Structure 1
Amino acid sequence: MRLPKLLLFIVLFCFVFLSGAQIQAQETNEKADAKQAEPPSSVKELKPVTTIDPLVPLDQLRIMVRPLTKDELQVEANAWFELLRNKSRQIAAARLGVKKTNEAIATNDDQQALDSLKKAESVQHMADEKARQTEEELTKQAQETLGVDVAVDAARPDPAKAEEGTTASTEEKSATTADSTSTPDNPTTTQSAEAMKAAFLQNINRLQDERTALSDRLEVVLTSLAAKGGDVETYRKYIAAVSGLELDTSDASAAWSGIKGWFVSKEGGQRMGWNLGKFLLILFLTWVVARIGSTVISWLLERKVRLTQLAENLISGTIRNVIYLVGFAVALTALEVDMTPVLAAIGATGLVVGLALQGTLSNFASGLMILINRPFDVGDVVTAGGVTGTVKQMNLVSTNFRTFDNQTIHVPNNSIWNGVITNITANKVRRVDLEFCIGYSDDFEQAEQIIRDVLADQELVLREPEAVVVTHALADSSVNIVCRPWAKTTDWWAVKTAVTREVKRRFDQAGISIPFPQQDIHVYSTDASKGNGKIETVSK
């Protein structure tokens, strides 16, 4: 019994020892992780520097953030984010103030209306004071870090003073309302509420412009932070959530004030109009550059490189389309569209698209091989991919044929390159192959002479190379005479039809027949009474 107890004791000892070691290792790892997650003392002591002027021009801000490190940019992003968040709180307070003034206008109780106006003024005052303190604190930190003291430009309004002025005017209106409500049914309360509402609406339009300006500056910092490996997704989601024009459809006057204020504001309608003008101007310049660029490329390829017309059209067309694509992307940036997610999505889906378009990529490769080997050109009559027609156009995926009955057929380049390509009009001179059949009872030498005379009378038949007219076969039903004149490729069809018509006409005049296919059948019959056989020949 001692041995099992000893084994049990050893097992329990090992379990306790391993558990303690695991707990100690876990605590060590947690301390190491906490120490690693804790920012270094130098990072803790970092203070923002770009917020020394909340209205700093964007081009200057881009220069200021360029040399900053990732940790420094994180501090700058937090500072600008704090300014943006307080500005959004001010807008929310102003909107709440509009709601409270609507309650004051709608109610018949003067005391309740006065309470609503006081609440609206109090909420706005708290938001303005918080924003002012935050801006002063961040500006002071930047001044202390840089060791400078920036005075407020006299020509530019101070946001803090503007907020104080708005708050003061609201307090005065509230005091006036309190004095004027000493008697029941005093219409001054409604008038004061309407005046306060107008002030709130005007303040909202101003605050929205300031919010847009802060969003632009925060975006500059975020762009630099993202380029240096920082996480900016949360910031950008907040910007998207608080940006834009908000309209209260339940309040017609507030909605109209918002629309009118957006159209006349520099950060709203004027900015959108200017961006739209730049968008259209960039598109027009892109069109001009694409036309000029494709023309110059076509001239260089034709005069200097000497490629086929098919290759010239494809290269110039591709360059023109690339210029259009780049110009459109640049034009979208004029509308303040961020192309980074689009480019990232294109890169991420590139592999999937490549796997899904294997057939298209095969056609692309075949198109390149056709351009390199140049088996045909625009205007050539070609038999390829089971189609015979004139080549009209080619891209890197398919070739456009125009058949002789005026059909347009698009043939994949892979089908063309993997098959036999016959270029009918590749050479300037082409032989016309004709064959005429006469009866066995006709004079074949006379027939040959008639054919030679017909060829001599045809102006489109070339004298060099010399035409061949010779009897070459004794067929089942006829004597076959080969006629092989030469003509220009452009006159091939005309020579073929003209010679055929004239030979038929002269054969008829000379009494030379063109026999129908016939077959002689020999029928053997036996006379049983006489024992003699009889042969009958029937032509069919």
Structure 2
Amino acid sequence: MFSFVKPLILMLSILLAINAAPILAKEAAERQVPLSSTNPQIELDVLDIVMAPLTVEELKTEADGWLKLIKASAHKVAKAKLRIKYLSQKQKSAEQAQVDSRAEKADKGKDSAMDELTDLRAIRTAEIDRLNVVLARINQKTGLDANGKESEAVLAYRRYSDAVGGIKLDTTDAESSFASIKGWLASKEGGKRWGVNLGSFLFIMLISWMLARIFSGMTRRALTLASKQSKLLTDFLVSMTSRVVMIIGIIFGLSVLEVDIGPLLAVIGAAGFVVAFALQSTLSNFASGIMIMIYRPFDVSDAVEVAGINGKVSSLNLVSTTITTFDNKRMIVPNNEIWGNTITNASASNERRVDMVFGIGYGDDIDLAMQVLEDIVATHPLILTDPAAVIQLHELADSSVNFICRPWVKTADYWTVYWDVTRNVKVRFDAEGLSIPYPQQDLHIYQEQQSIVAPVENSEQNHHHHKTDQMGLEQVG
């Protein structure tokens, strides 16, 4: 009969809870009571999850709660230090007074105080770790400034935790200092913790190195399977793959060492504009290096002419290209100078045409010269038959009748064929009586004759009669 009463009561309770939740949350916000610090042993990952939905003001309340705990632990640590100092002085006085019982009692009390100090330091370190989790959440919600720095509110917490954290050794008491170091090494939040962190860092670096080799090898094999792939681009991508994997490993390793790299990355990003402005020429070379690798106008060991330099490409990076000239000089050329100018690649094709010009005298037999050139080309073992060589009378020059001789050869045989054919042409022309004229000019001199009539002087004055011959010479008659 009353079976409906229980479900009805349950529904009314749920409705009251839903309506009362905002009111309770508002009251909690007004009271600003920290919640997480009531459980100092809360796990770090659990604390991070609990802090995620809180607002900045609520996170600051939580940070204040952890700061109070750290402050209380710092007071306990200070009292423990004072007690150790007092017991050390008491032990020293007893030893000077040669009272063994008092010295032994002070020594035992000192050992107990050192153990207590180690435990207090571990508690304080754990509380600082939890405060850092809260501060990290505040940074996520407020962000960093333009210089990559945290807000002043967060920095205030950082300064205090840095001031009271760590181990400060008393150099006047060697025994206490040694005991502090020994206790820190044996503590869970001290030596054991950093031993695990250091071991984890080395393990991550080892794994990163192995992965870098594996991924770079896979990249090289994949690029090798690709047809017509540039060796320069292959080497670049392989090295970049290895470096990227190592950089990721270093980032993970630093996080294991509890290094906050967020501010560092923010500073690098903020300084990017200044660096880019200061390194304009370098960035221009960088961009040109990328374009060279993508479009591949040349490759390693190619014979090229770039920026007025002839030689073979030795290596290429993102900033410059190294070229070894044919007389074995090493030239380092900025990539911007290469990409912004004409690039001549003599090794781009497997075959090249050898262009040569040979001249004979105007009085020589052109058919005989043609036959000699054809014989030389046909009998040379390095000259290709396809494409066929071109041998033609090309020009009636000032001093010679010029033939062109253009055989096709493998690129590697270019200069061998050039030198062989040139030598053979000289030998065969001499044997066949064909001259190789040198530049000459004919000079024609024309002389013009003139009649010069000399005036006849008055015979009454000099009693002589003057005549001129055809050359204009005076004859006296």
Structure 1 residue 263: deviation in Å? Answer: 2.4
Q: Any idea what SS the aligned residue of 1:215 has?
A: helix
What's 1:74 paired with? 60
Structure 1 residue 209: deviation in Å? Answer: 2.0
What's 1:485 paired with? 407
Q: Distance in 2 between matches of 1:502 and 1:101?
A: 107
Q: Distance in 1 between matches of 2:442 and 2:181?
A: 101
What's 2:86 paired with? 100
- Bigger share in helix: 1
Q: Any idea what SS the aligned residue of 1:259 has?
A: helix
1:386 maps onto 2:372 in alignment: no
Q: Distance in 2 between matches of 1:356 and 1:301?
A: 35
Q: Is the 8 A contact 2:94 2:100 kept in 1?
A: no
Q: Any idea what SS the aligned residue of 1:409 has?
A: strand
Q: Is the 8 A contact 2:354 2:418 kept in 1?
A: yes
Q: Any idea what SS the aligned residue of 1:232 has?
A: helix
Structure 1 residue 77: deviation in Å? Answer: 0.9
1:271 maps onto 2:193 in alignment: yes
1:188 maps onto 2:101 in alignment: yes
Q: Distance in 2 between matches of 1:404 and 1:262?
A: 66
Structure 1 residue 219: deviation in Å? Answer: 0.9
What's 1:139 paired with? none
Counterpart pick for 1:286 among 208, 217, 228? 208
Cα-to-partner distance string for 1:40-60 (whole Å, 9 max, x where unaligned): 975441222212321222122
Structure 1 residue 519: deviation in Å? Answer: 6.6
Q: Distance in 2 between matches of 1:490 and 1:57?
A: 71
Structure 1 residue 430: deviation in Å? Answer: 1.0
Structure 1 residue 212: deviation in Å? Answer: 1.6
Structure 1 residue 420: deviation in Å? Answer: 0.9
Matched to 1:194, the amino acid is D
Q: Distance in 2 between matches of 1:264 and 1:379?
A: 60
Matched to 2:203, the amino acid is L
What's 2:253 paired with? 331
Matched to 1:261, the amino acid is G
1:57 maps onto 2:32 in alignment: no
1:46 maps onto 2:40 in alignment: no
Number of residue-to-residue matches in the alignment: 420
CA root-mean-square deviation: 3.4
Counterpart pick for 2:281 among 359, 375, 381? 359
Cα-to-partner distance string for 1:123-174 (whole Å, 9 max, x where unaligned): xxxxxxxxxxxxxxxxxxxxxxxxxxxxxxxxxxxxxxxxxxxxxxxxxxxx
After superposition, where does 1:463-502 map in structure 2 within 5 Å? 463-473=385-395, 479-502=401-424
Cα-to-partner distance string for 1:494-526 (whole Å, 9 max, x where unaligned): 222222333334345446555666677789999
Cα-to-partner distance string for 1:365-408 (whole Å, 9 max, x where unaligned): 33444445443344432222222333344444333434334444
Q: Distance in 1 between matches of 2:172 and 2:442?
A: 104
Q: Distance in 2 between matches of 1:79 and 1:384?
A: 69
Structure 1 residue 349: deviation in Å? Answer: 0.5
Q: Distance in 1 between matches of 2:435 and 2:185?
A: 93
Task: Please say which structure displays the higher CA radius of gyration.
Answer: 2
Q: Any idea what SS the aligned residue of 1:376 has?
A: coil
Matched to 1:417, the amino acid is W
Matched to 1:260, the amino acid is K
Summarize the Cα distance change of 1:305–1:233 in structure 2 as closer, same or farther, 3 Å threshold. farther
After superposition, where does 1:113-152 map in structure 2 within 5 Å? none
Q: Distance in 2 between matches of 1:330 and 1:436?
A: 71
Normalising by structure 2, we get a TM-score of 0.76
Summarize the Cα distance change of 1:186–1:509 in structure 2 as closer, same or farther, 3 Å threshold. same
What's 2:323 paired with? 401
| Larger displacement relative to structure 2 (281-290 or 437-446) | 437-446
Counterpart pick for 1:427 among 349, 352, 359? 349
Structure 1 residue 486: deviation in Å? Answer: 0.9
What's 2:465 paired with? none
Matched to 2:422, the amino acid is T
| Larger displacement relative to structure 2 (406-415 or 266-275) | 406-415
Q: Distance in 2 between matches of 1:92 and 1:521?
A: 115
1:225 maps onto 2:138 in alignment: yes
Structure 1 residue 280: deviation in Å? Answer: 1.8
Cα-to-partner distance string for 1:211-248 (whole Å, 9 max, x where unaligned): 22111111111111222227311111222223333222
What's 1:169 paired with? none
What's 1:260 paired with? 182
Structure 1 residue 462: deviation in Å? Answer: 1.0
Q: Is the 8 A contact 1:43 1:71 kept in 2?
A: no
Q: Distance in 2 between matches of 1:90 and 1:432?
A: 92
Q: Distance in 1 between matches of 2:273 and 2:65?
A: 40
What's 2:264 paired with? 342
Q: Distance in 2 between matches of 1:64 and 1:363?
A: 50
What's 1:413 paired with? 335
Structure 1 residue 72: deviation in Å? Answer: 2.2
Cα-to-partner distance string for 1:454-493 (whole Å, 9 max, x where unaligned): 2111111011222223444455665544321111222212
Matched to 2:122, the amino acid is D
Q: Distance in 2 between matches of 1:390 and 1:220?
A: 58
Summarize the Cα distance change of 1:256–1:459 in structure 2 as closer, same or farther, 3 Å threshold. same
Matched to 1:91, the amino acid is V
Summarize the Cα distance change of 1:266–1:442 in structure 2 as closer, same or farther, 3 Å threshold. farther
Cα-to-partner distance string for 1:259-316 (whole Å, 9 max, x where unaligned): 2223222222222222122112212222233333334444555657975444444344
Summarize the Cα distance change of 1:438–1:187 in structure 2 as closer, same or farther, 3 Å threshold. same
Q: Is the 8 A contact 1:91 1:207 kept in 2?
A: yes
1:90 maps onto 2:76 in alignment: yes
Q: Distance in 1 between matches of 2:227 and 2:377?
A: 43
Counterpart pick for 2:125 among 191, 212, 223? 212
Structure 1 residue ranges without an equivalent (≥5):
1-39, 111-183, 533-540
Q: Distance in 1 between matches of 2:74 and 2:440?
A: 102
Q: Distance in 2 between matches of 1:42 and 1:501?
A: 103
What's 1:536 paired with? none
Summarize the Cα distance change of 1:441–1:95 in structure 2 as closer, same or farther, 3 Å threshold. farther
- State the identity %: 43
Q: Is the 8 A contact 1:438 1:513 kept in 2?
A: yes
Q: Distance in 1 between matches of 2:98 and 2:286?
A: 84
Summarize the Cα distance change of 1:90–1:522 in structure 2 as closer, same or farther, 3 Å threshold. farther
Structure 1 residue 323: deviation in Å? Answer: 2.3
Q: Is the 8 A contact 2:351 2:410 kept in 1?
A: yes
Structure 1 residue 96: deviation in Å? Answer: 2.5
Structure 1 residue 437: deviation in Å? Answer: 4.5
Summarize the Cα distance change of 1:105–1:515 in structure 2 as closer, same or farther, 3 Å threshold. farther
Summarize the Cα distance change of 1:507–1:58 in structure 2 as closer, same or farther, 3 Å threshold. same
What's 1:456 paired with? 378
Structure 1 residue 205: deviation in Å? Answer: 2.3
Matched to 2:127, the amino acid is L
What's 2:115 paired with? 202
